[in-house]
Structure 1
């Protein structure tokens, strides 16, 4: 993250300890100080009380401070200027010391997927370095709800010098499953429309100005490349499902419930059954209308009947997939236009860009 420290901060001697704490974060490279006016700083008591090593560091930071990163989030620090984009010194210290929390629905299952995106799409390894330094952590969102965020808001940021709404002090990026069940494809196949998300899916984040991303596909399993499935074609247990799955088109793969298929638990017979096609939502029925009855029954029972400990083990398949394999599952998707720089990116590049902006 980039910070601008207004000159008024350096004339508040009672806040020098807090300024020193922020300066320590700069020295450790967790954040970058931009637009440093060393000539003005050298007139302050804060600068005069610095040791030689700190002064040498500050000179180097001053030179680097002119090289701002356009798309990096920047915060202002001031004791006098109260505005939505500005923190006082103590607010800034508390805010900046936090690691960036990547909040996912289940960190055990989601982490291999996010790590694979980072490994294959962050060429500078900035995010991985932040993870190693403890500046970025994964946390559980609390399933489909937002319990973890509510907990942070309710239990944190109680210092008397914190004057803003508590949600403004969060350093989080939320990534959630879309739970979309289908897309709509035009008759000529030229356009694809996403299933609209229910308002409650994103309203919580919009109301609190919390950065978030909702996956285009149903959930993370829908991003597993075909190369992983191909490796199972010789597996006697899995091959029947795999062959049926590989006959699907990209859009059908995107929204299939890979774990459970089209199944339900029949309480009377106490067994899992596949729904009759006519019981499906019309949009789902239309999306999968061209698959054979045999494939429908195989896919309908879900992959979890063939794959032990599906949720844990299938997620680990992301550990070795290549960039090209991952791209093969999203190349057909519409690119995302970032609201921060209006640049269109594929979904994985978009994720990398958004995380780096917040670091």
Structure 2
């Protein structure tokens, strides 16, 4: 899996998942046969969801529930921390993660059933915490649209994280929810350098297009948070103030940042990318990450995994705080409402008189 076949993909390898008993390896067998050299196409399989809401109790996450419309992500961001989740599907966190996707149509009906449970108590629903709900295949499968329609019917609060332009399609649903205080959107921008973004995030919208998304959502009355993520020390950290300023000018009201995370298979994939696309910076970047994570590529400990620790972490934090104060970002705290939650009538319900 090398050469032209991988144009437009983030990973350059397809190492076997860690739960597999056998290892796949390509090799030349010296047979004079035609070699398949066409581009690797995206393959989508359908999954019948048995549950919709995923729960977590992580102390450093601001939400305790989420919905994932897709598994895998066609955007192909080489640094994506969600890549290791593909190993649970007996697929590779490498090329498979961005080419062999699972869509979950029908999840809206499952979500509707779970929200109707008498024991259910509303709280902000996070969407886009694992893979992007507005990745390109959403145009065909519309699973996110399905989820959004259910949440709107229940007046359920939600927080969306995305870098996909298809979110603009759903402004007709998001704007009325925002007017009720039910929704916030985080748009992720890593760099303003279009060339660098194309190499790191090959099928994600260009930085300028994401700024346009912020503007359009803001103009529709939808509160937008810039997610400066990931901050890559030695590669993108020098752009911190510029990205914040551009997002503010586009209409963002809030901002947050997360350090580059390299769990499990992501570290070798990212280091391979560095050796190909930024060889002169590779040693500096990995050394800086080691400084941030106690000598390791990554420390998954709660309280450390998102920001690291030490001098460089404090420097990024202080620069971020100074810039957001100067720009007037994060001046207010966005609190999504839960008091409007109500269970709508379903087909066959008897209407009440009062």
TM-score by length of 2: 0.30
TM-score by length of 1: 0.30
Choose 1 or 2 for highest CA Rg.
1
